Structure 1
Amino acid sequence: MIAKRIYTENKKYKEFYETCVGIDYVQWDDGSDGYIYFEESICGNRAEAFYKTLEDALVEYDGADAFFEIGKLNEYD
């Protein structure tokens, strides 16, 4: 599997913990691809949801954006 992180501006401290949210673009060995929206706490707990399109993933991300005050789109190779 090849993973390319395309969307992460993520950290906000809230009391005694930190939560990171973002979207990773992933390509599997069979040629299929998609986007994984994730929320991860500083203690290492991670929740993920898979979406076929970036637009679908952004719907969930936009909801988190208001709560976590995230930021802007970034691309990483």
Structure 2
Amino acid sequence: MSRNQPAYKDTQVFDWEVEPHDERPSAFSQTTGYSLLSGYHVEPVRESHRRQRSIAPALVAAGLVVALGSAAMVGFVRFLHS
């Protein structure tokens, strides 16, 4: 290459005026509204909602599991002894 020639062809240089409108970056186009559905926009959980949760439902569920498991074991032992 000589010093007078640029390192690129004129056909390889694109600027904003020659860029087709549909191929321009989406930051400059109108939004479609799907960004709210993408999962990146999530409402933060407020601390007041976290504090209001009680442990009662977890205790009821754990008690129910223990009670059903105990009843099943008693029934299985009676089945084996008969």
Instruction: Determine if the TM-score, normalized by the shorter chain, exceeds 0.5.
Output: no
TM-score between both structures, scaled by the size of structure 2: 0.19
Specify which structure has the higher proportion of helix. 2
Greater Rg by CA: 2
TM-score between both structures, scaled by the size of structure 1: 0.20
RCO higher in 1 or 2 (8 Å CA, sep ≥ 6)?
1
